[in-house]
Amino acid sequence: MSFADIVRADGTRPPRWLDVRFDASGAPLRCSGNTMVCHLRDDTGRAAVSEIVARLASAPAGNCFAFTAPESWHMTVFNGLLHEADLGRSNFWPADLPADATDDEADAFVLDRMANVAPPDTPIRMVATGFSGLPSHALGIALVPSSAGEENTIRSYRDRLAEATGLEARPGHADYGFHLTLAYLVRWPSVDEAIAFDAVLASLTVEIGDLFPPFRLGPPELCLFDHMDEFRVQRTVTPAPVATPAE
């Protein structure tokens, strides 16, 4: 679905994340929780994303998006809890976590459960395939593992994390689309501006393999966040050391 089609279909109501994650000026709003991510720390990858963001921001309709801070660029491995948003939603809150848990208690519960799940013993290699998120009024780079074997590895890891946290029944778990979020829509452009923005997206999609080469994820990081511009690392999760046979 093109951005122009989304503007035609949705443009009479406020963008989904306006006054939820960002205000109309593009300032981040409180939206707190916990998660497991891999930050984009590779210099080549960061330079590529910087170029992509610059071209999108300067495109027609680019000023309709609130772009996330470069310090926050990451790929989510497993989304934990949004404190206020997930409380009370069926299948979005762990059965073992009391509904009256404080934010600190919810964070400790989820991070402790995830920390005890062994990650893959080799980094996962990801490939950028284009852009994602516009139907939900966001914008990100769509990512996929570079082989069927790596796809199975990261999906298996997510399954084990879901089981450990009690979130295996959460809607969307099985077909979760990996991505690196770039921006959230905070105002609607005109249809003509959206058509021009679609042309920029199409051009970047053709180039994205060269701009953003395949990369290996670093170790998963357990993070807390108060908004979408900063994900504070609490622990880095590394594979258990391989035991050395006794001589």
Q: What is the pLDDT of residues 214-233, one digit of tens each?
A: 888 888 999 999 999 999 99
What is the model's pLDDT at position 241?
Answer: 58
- Segments of the chain assigned E as strands: 33-39, 65-67, 74-82, 125-132, 138-145, 179-185, 215-216, 221-227, 230-236
Number of neighbours of residue 148 by Cβ within 10 angstroms: 8
Of the chain, the end-to-end C-alpha distance in Å amounts to 62
- For 100, half-sphere exposure in the C-beta direction (CA atoms, 13 angstrom radius) is 0
Q: 118-152, pLDDT tens digit by residue?
A: 999 888 899 999 999 999 999 999 999 999 999 99
Using pLDDT thresholds of 50, 70 and 90, give the confidence band for residue 240.
low
220 contacts 33 by C-beta, under 8 angstroms: no
What is the model's pLDDT at position 198?
Answer: 98
Task: Count Cβ atoms within 10 A of the Cβ of residue 131 and give its class: 0-12 exposed, 13-18 middle, 19 or more buried.
Answer: buried
Q: 51-93, pLDDT tens digit by residue?
A: 999 999 999 999 999 999 999 999 999 999 999 888 888 789 9
Q: 177-220, pLDDT tens digit by residue?
A: 999 999 999 999 999 999 999 999 999 999 998 888 888 888 89
Least confident of 23-27, 119-123, 174-178, 237-241: 237-241
From residue 133, how far is each of 17, 81, 90, 130, 177 by CA, in Å? Answer: 12, 20, 24, 11, 10
What is the average per-residue pLDDT within 159-178? 95
Over the chain, what is the mean pLDDT?
Answer: 93
CA quadruple 97, 174, 181, 77: dihedral sign: positive
Task: Please give the domain boundaries of the chain with CATH numbers for all domains.
Answer: 3-116+124-236 (3.90.1140.10)
Q: 90-118, pLDDT tens digit by residue?
A: 789 999 999 899 999 999 999 999 999 99
What is the model's pLDDT at position 212?
Answer: 83
